[in-house]
């Protein structure tokens, strides 16, 4: 296979993983590509929405003409267990490609990882492909992280002024990032399994948190430019943001067409002393009816003097959430992440003011990432600084007047 065809295959894997991410639920967003021995692409597919075909099964459902000279590349090792679908390993052996190239071994304990003897017995060679691992990591990172740690891959996001402030001292509701970022941020939201906001944001902003695209967002979009020249070879965070900036324009219509599939869970922290208005709950009921599924999760902050929640609030939660509200203390960030991991949430976006940097300050890992969008045309003098605005920089991008900083946790706050 020549270099140009290899590049085409890797690029296709990247796009397939990107399209799968955000719609596969607890399953990993896997990509699969079938080529002939010259490297010409015969078929491709990605994992379907939760409960549907895995990537390999979807690929072979579309392409039935097989021969012994075909090469199958898959971003994650084919599963070996019965779940909602039969083992993909059995199907691959039945189709008998000449060679299998894998991006990552599967850390799922249900999968017999690395047991490739059955392939060799059928005359199929198997090898790991580092470049395939690189291009697929941004989309698989959440699954790999959850399986290995029991917690989702966390992103802390904030829009800041040129001074690095996210709000005025009075915490007045105001727009910080410019409209040029809206479409990119909605596509990024579609890649997340869950979006969370703190009690202050719920009370002041009554946010919807759902994924949506409007004509105005499409018209306001500006092209993106990467400022950082070099990035680590295996860098999931920068890879994901690069993919969002690269694929948003060409995938916008597809995401819009499958709007209901890409909807993340909407996680709200409530303060019983400052509950949101009826308009907030009405908005969430409208979204629940629109998409035909309950996707809200509620956490209620408590202390030792907290009173029981009212029957009215309990009824609102039952209407909107498939789960009972979770009572949680302000120092139980570990409990929060473990609950989400148990629910199969691979990726979590925390819309940050001051709540999540404090709530999760002892729980973030080296793998978690901070997304700061700094609008150089917005000034909030003497405002409240985003607590992570000086963390070590991984990568930087430019969209109109906005600088996008990908940061990692380098110190305690």
Catalytic residue among 4, 56, 117, 121: 56
Domain co-membership, 182 together with 99: no
Under 8 Å CB-to-CB from 354, ≥6 apart: which residues? 198, 200, 384, 387
Confidence of residue 413 (pLDDT cuts 50, 70, 90): very low
> Using an 8 Å Cβ cutoff, are 374 and 160 in contact?
yes
143 occurs within a structural domain: no
Domain end, chosen from 137, 171, 202, is at 137
Domain co-membership, 154 together with 92: no
Domain co-membership, 97 together with 178: no
Domain co-membership, 168 together with 203: yes
pLDDT at 411 over 60: no
Domain co-membership, 124 together with 154: no
pLDDT digits (tens, 9 = 90+) for 332-362: 999 999 999 999 999 999 997 789 999 999 9
Domain, as residue range, for 121: 3-137
Confidence of residue 151 (pLDDT cuts 50, 70, 90): very high
Domain co-membership, 128 together with 261: no
Backbone angles phi, psi at 8, to 5 degrees: -60, -40
pLDDT score at 171: 77
Domain co-membership, 253 together with 338: yes
Highest mean pLDDT among 18-22, 94-98, 358-362: 18-22
pLDDT at 108 over 90: no
Q: How far apart are CA 148 and CA 164, in angstroms?
A: 34
Domain co-membership, 205 together with 120: no
Question: What SS3 state is found at 358?
Answer: helix
How many CA atoms are closer than 13 Å to the CA of 48, on its beta-carbon side?
11
CA proximity to 240, closest of 360, 129, 142, 101: 142
> Using an 8 Å Cβ cutoff, are 180 and 401 in contact?
yes
Domain co-membership, 302 together with 362: yes
How many CA atoms are closer than 13 Å to the CA of 14, on its beta-carbon side?
19
Q: How many domains does the chain have?
A: 2
Q: How far apart are CA 191 and CA 185, in angstroms?
A: 10
Question: Does the predicted TM-score (pTM) go above 0.75?
Answer: yes
Question: What SS3 state is found at 219?
Answer: helix
Q: How far apart are CA 10 and CA 80, in angstroms?
A: 25
CA proximity to 410, closest of 374, 371, 365, 373: 365
Domain co-membership, 179 together with 123: no
Q: How far apart are CA 33 and CA 82, in angstroms?
A: 23
Would residue 99 show up in a list of annotated catalytic residues for this protein?
A: no
């Amino acid at each position: 296979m020549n270099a140009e065809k290899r590049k085409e295959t890797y690029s296709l894997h990247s796009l397939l993983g990107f399209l799968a991410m955000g719609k596969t639920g607890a399953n990993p967003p896997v990509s699969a590509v079938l080529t002939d021995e010259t490297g010409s692409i015969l078929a491709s597919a990605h994992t379907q929405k939760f409960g549907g075909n895995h990537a390999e099964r979807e690929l072979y459902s579309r392409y039935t003409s097989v021969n012994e000279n075909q090469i199958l590349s898959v971003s994650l090792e084919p599963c070996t267990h019965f779940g909602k679908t039969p083992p993909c390993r059995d199907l691959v052996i039945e189709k008998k490609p000449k060679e299998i190239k894998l991006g990552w071994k599967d850390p799922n304990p249900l999968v017999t990882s690395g047991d490739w003897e059955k392939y060799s017995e059928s005359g199929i060679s198997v090898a790991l492909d580092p470049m395939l691992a690189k291009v697929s990591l941004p989309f698989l990172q959440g699954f790999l992280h959850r399986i290995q740690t029991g917690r989702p891959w966390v992103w802390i996001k904030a829009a800041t002024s040129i001074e690095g402030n996210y709000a005025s001292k009075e915490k007045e509701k105001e727009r910080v990032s410019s409209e040029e970022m809206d479409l990119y941020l909605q596509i990024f939201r579609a890649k997340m399994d869950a979006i969370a906001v703190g009690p202050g944001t719920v009370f002041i902003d009554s946010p919807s948190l759902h994924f949506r695209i409007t004509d105005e967002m499409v018209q306001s979009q500006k092209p993106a430019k990467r400022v950082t020249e070099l990035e680590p070879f295996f860098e999931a965070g920068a890879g994901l943001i690069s993919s969002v900036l690269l694929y948003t324009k060409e995938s916008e219509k597809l995401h819009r067409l499958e709007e209901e599939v890409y909807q993340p869970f909407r996680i709200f922290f409530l303060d019983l002393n400052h509950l949101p208005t009826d308009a907030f709950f009405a908005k969430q009921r409208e979204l629940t009816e629109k998409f035909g599924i309950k996707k809200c999760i509620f956490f209620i902050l408590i202390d030792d003097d907290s009173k029981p929640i009212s029957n009215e609030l309990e009824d609102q939660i039952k209407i909107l959430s498939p789960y009972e509200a979770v009572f949680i203390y302000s120092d139980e960030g570990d409990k929060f992440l473990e609950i989400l991991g148990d629910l199969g949430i691979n990726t979590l976006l925390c819309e940050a003011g001051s709540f999540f940097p404090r709530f999760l300050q002892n729980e973030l890992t080296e793998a978690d990432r901070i997304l700061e969008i700094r609008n150089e045309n917005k000034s909030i003098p003497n405002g409240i600084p985003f607590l992570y605005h000086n963390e070590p920089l991984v990568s930087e991008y430019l969209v109109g007047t906005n600088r996008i900083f990908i940061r990692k946790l380098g110190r305690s706050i």
